[in-house]
Chains A and B, each alone.
Chain A
Amino acid sequence: MKRLLTGLAVCYGLGIILNGFFRLNFWLILGAAIAVLVWAGLVFRNKYLSLILILFLALLSGCLNLANSARLSKCHIRNFMIYKNNPVYRVSGFIASMPELKNGQQWFTLQTQEVQADKLKYNCCGKLLIKMDFEQALNYGDNLTLTGSLKRLPGFNSSSRSYRDFLARKGIYLIMPVKDSRQIILRSGASGSALIRNCFRLRVYLEQIISRYLPPLPASILSAMVLGQKRNLPRLVNENMVKSGTVHILVVSGFNVGIVAFIADLLLKILRLRRKLRFIVTASCLLVYCLVTGATNPVIRATVMGIIFLSAYFLKRDPDIYNSLMAAALFILAFDPLQLFDIGFQLSFISVLAIVYFYPKFEALICLKNCRIKVLKFIIAGCLVSFSAWLGTVLIIALNFRIIAPVTVLANMIIVPLATLITLCGFTLVLSGLLYPDLAYFFSQPTSVLINLLLNINQALVKLPLAYIYF
């Protein structure tokens, strides 16, 4: 089998889907998996049978991983919830996410370590969502003790895309509202990963650089495009981007990861480092960038793909786009199989898969390689990439968001090249802000002009008749 990783990832994904529908018993699947493993070991010399058994084992692993993720630990905070009389809990732990301010409220997740209810203390684990009605300077890793009531999460709607299900996929089942600053005690020391803590600090610093040189609106858009931070993005801008099908430019994608790899490699080349060392440092830079941007699915996908492309040099093998894409999918799903049901994961992988699959076919169909006018070739190639991505994602978007946007292809043709340029300008601005702040001011103005142009074009496109249809 030429693309074993692709086969493994497909079977593994099928296993997750299978168990998602049928909810098979964990021990039953485990028994079957062990039996298949032994059988595969016994018939190892038989090429085809062992391959089929390996693929079947991947399918069972998918089932098993999903069944395991549904089983909560006995010490999970959810198991300490008492539904009668709404008692007051005292929960200790550390902040496991970057605290975010939304509509005057501060939100973060707490990695719980200890819970006290009715004078009895227990060690516990699991995450808890904290909603604070006031603002307090808090950071990732801060040790806290909170006092308050625990509540189940609201559903908001009954569909499978409810807020409760979304958070359950992240391992969060309970919320603690904190209304008074007396409910919170900040303990000394810091927990969590020092690497993540420093990456968050770097992100805050980079955000400060962007907002130092740009007014609030362009700064919010550039922060979303370069650092993946959408919290300051105006709702109207986001809504217009959804309508034109170009909201994907507001998340960190493979392109950004490619730019980081290119910049790191270029700077190291100037320092005359050896190629192997250069690749190791570049891969480390990609990991740091992945953490800085919050390790969302598109970034993890692109980072894993980037590292595979880099490691292909060490392994002396040609990188295969399908295999690297599937390796990225396997990497994410091995940690969290529930991500397969996440719309962001589906869109991220299907759009790339659609481009990789459809684009060469369309290119061959219209004999694009024979076109001698470079500009025309570039424009047609852009159209085909947009169309391929649209074709791959249109059904998922229509089913989940109840919107069909015929303007998407045209919008992407215009906006994607512009967004590419803005991203390049954004990275230049951030780097110059870090290295030589006086120069950053000159880079900020063309960046702002391009963002202004992007917003105007997007608004004009959305206003076109039948640009989008909600149903």
Chain B
Amino acid sequence: MAVKIMLNFTPEERKVALFVLSLGLAGLILNSLAKLNCRISGIVYPQIQLARLNINQVTLAELTRTKCVPEKLAQRIIEYRNLQHEFVSLDELKEVKGVGRKRFEKLKEIFFIE
């Protein structure tokens, strides 16, 4: 009787149990795969390129298309990179004309350096 009550799950409860168990199982598999092969972390965790632009590789067209940087400023950033040298640190963005403290804080969220 006790077993019967214990297993008396509604279809929804069974679905939830199945979902949680399969999620845990998937986590376990990924965890053990990560121990075997370090490259697996590339599949597990999103790469930074998905959320930011590489400041030393981005083209003017790409930068303008993102709508995150005004067109004139995008031109100045690319010009600075071409005329001076590749960016070593994001702090160098402060040297570009038109980049103040506020703008720099915004730009920091858009670019990364590899």
Contact = CB atoms under 8 A, between A and B. Distances in A.
Interface of A: 103-105, 215, 217-218, 234-237, 239, 262, 266, 269-270, 424-425, 428, 439, 441-446, 448-449, 451-452, 455-456, 459
Q: Which 5 A-B pairs have the closest CB atoms?
A: A442-B27, A103-B105, A234-B51, A446-B26, A452-B46
A104 B103 CA distance: 11
A217 B68 contact: no
Most interface-central of B10, B28, B50, B102 (chain A CB within 10 A): B50
Contacts of A215: 45-46
Contact of B51 (A236, A262, A424): A236
Contacts of A459: 50
Contacts of B66: 236, 239
A442 B110 CA distance: 31
Nearest to A441: B27
Given A239-B66, A443-B27, A234 B109 contact: yes
B105 A104 contact: yes
Contacts of A441: 27
Contacts of A239: 66-68
A266 B51 CA distance: 37
A269 B20 CA distance: 18
B28 A442 contact: yes
A441 B27 CA distance: 8
A445 B30 contact: yes
B62 to A, nearest CB: 11
B46 A217 contact: yes
Interface residues of B, number: 32
B98 interface: no
Contact of A445 (B13, B44, B48, B50): B44
Interface string B17-57: 00110011011101100100000000111101011110000
Contacts of A446: 23, 26-27, 30
B16 interface: yes
A461 to B, nearest CB: 13
Given A235-B68, A236-B68, A446-B30, A217 B105 contact: no
A236 B52 contact: yes
A449 B16 contact: no
Nearest to A451: B46
B4 to A, nearest CB: 16
B110 A235 contact: yes
Nearest to A103: B105
A452 to B, nearest CB: 4
Contacts of B28: 442
Most interface-central of B10, B12, B30, B46 (chain A CB within 10 A): B46
B106 interface: yes
13 contacts: A103-B102, A104-B105, A215-B46, A235-B110, A236-B110, A266-B16, A425-B23, A445-B26, A446-B23, A449-B44, A455-B50, A456-B46, A459-B50
Nearest to B46: A452
Contacts of B109: 234-235
Contact of A424 (B13, B19, B27, B105): B19
Contacts of A452: 43-46, 50
B91 to A, nearest CB: 14
B14 to A, nearest CB: 11
Most interface-central of A441, A444, A449 (chain B CB within 10 A): A449
Contacts of A104: 101-102, 105
Contacts of B30: 445-446, 449
Nearest to A104: B105
A112 B57 CA distance: 49
A449 B31 CA distance: 12
Interface in B90-109: 101-102, 105-106, 109
Contact of B12 (A234, A236, A266): A266
Contacts of B43: 449, 452
